Chains A and B, each alone.
Chain A
Amino acid sequence: DIQMTQSPSSLSASVGDRVTITCRASHSVGRYLSWYQQKPGKAPKLLIYSASYLQSGVPSRFSGTGSDIDFTLTISSLQPEDFATYSCHQSYTSPGTFGPGTKVDI
């Protein structure tokens, strides 16, 4: 199985900050990498697919880059509604595997 790691596991930031979260795969996943946002008590929400494509309706302050092993999710200017947990997911091969998540709080 492909293992996904994320760093940091948590971070504290302020409104307006630029936030970067890293996801690393144990083997190349090409660009079959997505990012999900999850708020407490809510279902995950797809933000980014195919490493860098913004899901419809997701604000443009979110962006994704990377390929093969290393990927990054960036929030250019953190907004109050962005405080949540962010998880990456590879769908290059089965089983699809999620990263452990990065909690972004104030």
Chain B
Amino acid sequence: EVQLVESGGGLERPGRSLRLSCVASGFIFDDYAMHWVRQVPGKGLEWVSSISWDSRSTDYADSVKGRFTVSRDNAKNSLYLQMNSLRTEDSALYYCAKDFGSSVLRHNYFDYWGQGTLVSISS
């Protein structure tokens, strides 16, 4: 059974940093690209970042580019999102998602999602 478990969210002040983690199980982690998607409670979904199986390719939404860094450790079946210079508009539930069938960043779909970790940014 595929499982994705996020952690690392919490309440933080603007300008500070958080590091989100996602531990995967039930599939061959390094066969797939992985993604972060966020959602303000009660609002729509927003893609945040993606990383290829080998970490050679990464991609970011313009809203987080230069502030967030996605990484993965295939030996630990883990995905990370380093969030720096946090803003109030970064407050959301952050989901980790597995790619449907691709190891690279191209025409990706998300077939399994974690339950999310909540990030709240407030002074």
Structural contact, A98 and B45, CB atoms closer than 8 A: yes
**Residues of B with C-beta under 8 A to A44:** 37, 45, 95, 110, 113
Count of interface residues, chain B, beta-carbon cutoff 8 Å:
20
Structural contact, A43 and B113, CB atoms closer than 8 A: yes
Choose the segment among A15-23, A59-67, A75-83, A87-95 that binds chain B (4+ C-beta atoms closer than 8 Å): A87-95
Supply 7 further A-B pairs (C-beta < 8 A) apart from A38-B45, A44-B110: A46-B110, A49-B100, A55-B111, A89-B110, A91-B109, A95-B62, A96-B108
In the bound assembly, the distance between CA atoms of A97 and B108 in angstroms comes to 11
Structural contact, B59 and A94, CB atoms closer than 8 A: yes
- B92 CB, min distance to chain A CBs, angstroms: 13
In the bound assembly, the distance between CA atoms of A50 and B100 in angstroms comes to 11
From DSSP, what is the main secondary structure of chain A's interface residues?
Answer: loop
The listed residue (B46, B105, B113, B116) touching A98 by CB distance below 8 A is B46
Which of A38, A46, A99, A100 has the most chain B CB atoms closer than 10 A to its own CB? Answer: A46
20 contacts between A and B (CB under 8 A): A34-B110, A36-B110, A43-B114, A44-B110, A44-B113, A49-B100, A49-B109, A50-B109, A55-B111, A87-B45, A89-B45, A89-B109, A91-B108, A91-B109, A92-B107, A95-B61, A98-B44, A98-B45, A98-B47, A101-B44
**Residues of B with C-beta under 8 A to A49:** 100, 109
Which of B44, B62, B95, B109 has the most chain A CB atoms closer than 10 A to its own CB? Answer: B109
- 8 Å CB interface, A5-20 against B: none
- A102 CB, min distance to chain B CBs, angstroms: 11
Chain B residues within CB distance 8 Å of chain A:
37, 44-47, 59, 61-62, 95, 100, 105, 107-111, 113-116
Structural contact, A46 and B47, CB atoms closer than 8 A: no
Count of interface residues, chain A, beta-carbon cutoff 8 Å:
25
**Residues of A with C-beta under 8 A to B46:** 98
- B22 CB, min distance to chain A CBs, angstroms: 12
